[in-house]
Structure 1
Amino acid sequence: MDVKAGVKLCITCLSAYLLLACTSYPDEGTGGIAENYAGSDFSPVMPDEPLGPEHGLRFDWKLAALHLDSLIEEGAQWCFPAAVLQAQEKQNRIARELEGGLWIDAANDIVIQRKKLNDLELRLDYVLNEATCAPPLKGKDFDDLMQVVKRVYHLLNVDNQFAYNSIEVNPKYMGHLAEAANILKQHPTIRLAVTGHADATGGTEYNEKIAKGRAQQVKRYLTIFGLAPGRIETHSLGEELPLYEGDSPGVRLTNRRVSIEVIADKNSNATQGAL
């Protein structure tokens, strides 16, 4: 049985599993899914508990976990180690949101996660048609690279990046860009994909334009701080895929942002050409 057929079988089994409400509680003291992606699971739906939207979100979370696991089995962790690392972190974030009852936040992140996993699958299929992915590094070297990826990712994906109706970078975020650029200059195999976002207060065409401007402005400053322009690609989603739903000033501030993927695909020329 190939991996994708196995995933379909697992999804079928999972559907029956959830409908029968047979999932188990995490062991006492482990912290459940918020602590451990690989073995995490949710509390069962009790017989007298009415079904609500959270149960569908839990199911969607599990499907995304199965999708990610299948990509890892096909070699994604070696072809695109940074993308896999960030997908695993996103799974943990969604799990924490579900455990905390943040249904809207979880739903938004699940949509984003699905898109990222679909993109990763397309990239992986392309690469595997051209080459075989193998571990690019071993032991401490690989661990060190992943620590750099995590550090840069968390530096660049923070809140409060842009003011209302502006593409100008806030001073604090400017410091994050400078620090990230200095780190990346020491790691030439790492690249960035910068996607601009806008809040929902303007028209669709305007929001697309300002989101694109934000992504380009971030690229401009990273270049000023010494990063080669060829290592940065830019995209725009306008008001689509907001980080949070709502129209409060705090929510709008958070949705005026760029999201940045850190790409560390070192192992083959075919991989680099696929991006």
Structure 2
Amino acid sequence: VGEGIHIIFDDKSGVNFAFDSSDLTAEAKSNLDKVAEIFLEFPDTNLMIQGYTDSVGNDDYNLKLSKRRADAVSKYIADAGVASSRMTVEGFGEAAPRFDNATKDGQAGNRRVEIGVSANKEMIDDAKAQAN
């Protein structure tokens, strides 16, 4: 209760993007199909869709690009049947790199979307009731 899960994709299961793009790759779509199945199985969860960019370009542009990336993921999993009312969508630009932006590989890794998962009110209330 009160804790969530932050899903961090690795390089084989990720939701990454080409430079200056918010278009989902075929690999990202395949990975999101699997994730959507899980979210459909556990409807008492809320999802935080968080977009990021590398450090190339100006901050304002990257913030908007990261939001478009998060929006693309949100729309894709909503189209797969996951209720959009369960989602909050945010773009963080280049604010939280996971990899070194000084390298091309690091930049590619930072062009990503991550998903946070938390219990909704009903799940929290059920957990509290069971604990008592």
Give the TM bin, normalised by the shorter chain.
0.7 to 0.9
**Aligned AA for 2:51?**
G
> Which protein has the larger Cα radius of gyration, Structure 1 or Structure 2?
1
Aligned to 2:105: 250
For 2:34 and 2:71, how far apart are their aligned partners in 1?
18
What whole-Å deviation, never above 9, does each CA across 1:110-153 have from its counterpart, x for those lacking one? xxxxxxxxxxxxxxxxxxxxxxxxxxxxxxxxxxxxxxxxxxx3
Match of 1:202 in 2: 57
Equivalenced residue count is 122
Corresponding letter in the other structure for 2:103:
S
Give, in whole Å, the separation in 2 of the partners of 1:250 and 1:261. Answer: 24
How big is each residue's C-alpha offset from its partner over 1:2-37, in whole Å with a ceiling of 9 and x where there is no partner? xxxxxxxxxxxxxxxxxxxxxxxxxxxxxxxxxxxx
State the 1:245 CA deviation: 2.2
- Residue 125 of structure 2 is matched in structure 1 by 268
- Deviation, structure 1 residue 192: 0.9
Q: Deviations over 1:26-67 (max 9, x none)?
A: xxxxxxxxxxxxxxxxxxxxxxxxxxxxxxxxxxxxxxxxxx
Matches within 5 A, 1:54-93: 78-80=1-3, 82-83=4-5, 86=6
Matched, 1:221 2:76: yes
The two structures have a TM-score, normalised by structure 2, of: 0.83
| TM-score w.r.t. length of structure 1 | 0.42
RMSD of Structure 2 on Structure 1 (CA): 2.0
Match of 1:184 in 2: 39
Runs of 4+ in 1 over 4 A off after TM superposition: none
Percent identity at matched positions? 27
Supply the distance in 2 between the matched residues of 1:180 and 1:234 (Cα, whole angstroms). 16
Deviation at 1:188, TM superposition (A): 0.8
Bigger relative contact order (CA 8 A; separation at least 6): 2
